[in-house]
């Protein structure tokens, strides 16, 4: 019997709920049950509030995700703008450091004690030799500025080389390290003389014709000898002794010099208008 009463009970409950709903709607339409309707509505809101909070908590990250996707292009553009600003700032810092270095080089060229009262022309290095066999640089001054072939060229620390070729607006400087370069030198500590010759880039200068009994300490400075026939004035620093030894039975001492000027990083030089 219970099997047949259960559907009847359900139909009864459904009928009661329907009648109640019709009654509430009718009262609401007539304006006589606003309080009842409001209480029912408020009760429903209270019952559904936890469900709404849970749904909101689940859907909120999803909404944030899609909002983030929508803002991705804006964030990407902003990052690109910030990167450009950083690169510009870095460029300004590098340029300032370069200007400071050039300023120091120009200051170093002023009042060189080893130049004395020899007239000179300050010039900027505008290019380097593209060859691996010839080591030279080109400066932005030429015959129109009083520069002639064979003139010595110096930097703040000492000798750079000599003018090899010259035109009206440009001059090519043969560096000390070129294999065709020859410079008469004197070891300042002992007074012994020799001829320094280039052996290529990053290679120390070899000093020939040094007496086998010469004693040269490592780090001792060699300067231009200025002997008769030399194209360089005396007393210009050339290099520091890197190797000094004498082999038994050898006709000369083995001496190597490291140039005092960093010939790979020349920016400004002075051409000495000196006639031997």
Look at residues 42, 38, 37, 7 and name the one whose alpha carbon lies nearest to residue 20: 37
How far apart, in whole angstroms, are the C-alpha atoms of residue 239 and residue 157?
10
Look at residues 125, 115, 112 and name the one whose alpha carbon lies nearest to residue 273: 115
How far apart, in whole angstroms, are the C-alpha atoms of residue 7 and residue 131?
105
Kindly tell me the burial class for residue 159, based on how many C-beta atoms sit within 10 Å of its own C-beta (0-12, 13-18, 19 or more): buried
Kindly report the pTM of this predicted structure: 0.63
* Domain 120-175: CATH architecture, name and number where available: Beta Barrel (2.40)
- The DSSP annotation for 70-125 comes to HHHHHHHHHHHHHHHHHHHHHHHHHHHHHHHHHHHHHHHTTT-TTTTT--EEEEEE
How far apart, in whole angstroms, are the C-alpha atoms of residue 211 and residue 195?
12
Asked whether the domain spanning 182-260 has the same topology as the one spanning 120-175, the reply is yes
In order along its 276 residues, the chain shows pLDDT tens digits of 444 455 666 666 666 666 666 565 665 555 554 555 556 555 555 544 555 565 455 556 655 555 555 577 777 787 888 888 777 777 767 666 666 666 666 666 777 888 888 999 999 999 987 565 568 999 999 999 999 999 999 999 999 999 999 999 999 999 999 999 999 999 987 888 999 999 988 899 999 988 887 878 889 999 999 887 788 999 999 999 998 887 777 788 889 999 999 998 899 999 999 887
How far apart, in whole angstroms, are the C-alpha atoms of residue 138 and residue 47?
90
How far apart, in whole angstroms, are the C-alpha atoms of residue 118 and residue 123?
16
Could you give the maximum distance between any two Cα atoms of the chain, in Å?
141
List Cα–Cα distances, 241 to 57, 125, 256, in angstroms: 79, 27, 6
Look at residues 42, 12, 41, 265 and name the one whose alpha carbon lies nearest to residue 155: 265
**If you search the block for the tokens 């109640």, which residue do you land on?**
20
Say which DSSP state 251 is in. S
Give me 47's structure tokens.
Answer: 């019952």
Domain ranges of the chain: 61-108, 120-175, 182-260
Give me 270's structure tokens.
Answer: 């002075």
Fold of the domain built from segment(s) 182-260: Thrombin, subunit H (2.40.10)
How far apart, in whole angstroms, are the C-alpha atoms of residue 136 and residue 272?
17
How far apart, in whole angstroms, are the C-alpha atoms of residue 48 and residue 78?
43
Give me 189's structure tokens.
Answer: 């500590």
Q: Helix/strand/coil (H, E, C) string of 25-39?
A: HHHHHHCCCHHHHHH
């Amino acid at each position: 019997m219970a099997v047949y009463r259960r559907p009847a009970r359900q139909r009864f409950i459904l009928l009661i709920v329907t009648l109640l709903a019709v009654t509430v709607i009718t009262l609401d339409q007539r304006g006589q049950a606003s309080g009842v309707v409001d209480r029912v509505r408020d009760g429903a809101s209270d019952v559904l509030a936890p469900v709404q909070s849970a749904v909101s908590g689940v859907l909120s990250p999803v909404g944030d995700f899609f909002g983030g996707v929508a803002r991705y292009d804006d964030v990407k553009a902003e990052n690109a703008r910030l990167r450009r600003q950083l690169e510009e700032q870095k460029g300004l810092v590098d340029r300032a450091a370069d200007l400071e270095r050039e300023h120091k080089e120009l200051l170093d060229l002023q009042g060189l004690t080893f130049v004395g009262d020899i007239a000179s022309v300050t010039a900027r290095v505008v290019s380097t030799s593209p060859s691996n066999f010839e080591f030279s640089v080109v400066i932005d001054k030429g015959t129109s500025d009083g520069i002639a072939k064979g003139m010595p060229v110096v930097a703040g620390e000492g000798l750079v080389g000599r003018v090899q070729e010259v035109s009206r607006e440009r001059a090519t400087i043969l560096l000390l390290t070129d294999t065709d370069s020859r410079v008469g030198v004197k070891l300042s500590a002992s007074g012994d003389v020799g001829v320094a010759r280039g052996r290529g880039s990053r290679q120390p200068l070899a000093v020939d014709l040094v007496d086998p009994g010469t004693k040269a300490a490592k780090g001792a400075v060699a300067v231009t000898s200025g002997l008769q026939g030399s194209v360089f004035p005396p007393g210009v620093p050339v290099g520091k002794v890197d190797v000094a030894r004498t082999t038994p039975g050898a006709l000369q001492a083995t001496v190597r010099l490291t140039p005092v000027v960093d010939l790979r990083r020349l920016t400004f030089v002075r051409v000495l208008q000196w006639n031997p």
